Amino acid sequence: MKIMVYNKKTPGDKLAMELAVSHAKAFEGTIDLVSVITEQSSAPQEVVEEESKKLKKTAAETADAHNVACKFQLVLTALPIGEALVQYAEKNKIDEIIMPLRRRSKLGKLFFGSDSQYIILEAPCRVITIKDS
């Protein structure tokens, strides 16, 4: 089983990773820890490199501490985040997506859309959401 954890840089990331580890152990799976940087983010190269280092460290720590295969992937894209993650899941034959979910007002969803909603509706596999606290 291939499990993708969407790292949103929120408090819910830790809970999502804990659930992914338990599923990977139970089903002899592997974990892809994925974060997305969009073309519109205007993040300087240093920020991208720092994010990549953090993901690599988290993946290595998870693999060592829990004896689970875990790799990291930083996706740089011009697509909306939801579309980029669904494409990643399709391309890498992901069996399960685990991601934190934060509460947003209806007005916020209207103006900014919802990447989580897109992923839930369009993903080629099961999606498990963890409520951010």
pLDDT tens sequence across 41-64: 666 777 777 778 887 888 888 878
Token pair for 17? 């990773």
The residue segments making up the domain with residue 9 are: 2-131
Per cent of the chain over pLDDT 70 is 88
The identity of residue 109, as a single letter, is K
Question: Distance between CA atoms of 45 and 41, rounded to whole angstroms?
Answer: 11
Least confident of 16-30, 58-72, 88-102: 58-72
Which pLDDT band holds residue 3 (cuts at 50, 70, 90)?
A: very high
- Report the CATH number at residue 89: 3.40.50.620
Total domain count for the chain? Answer: 1
103 phi and psi angles, rounded to 5 deg = -80, 135
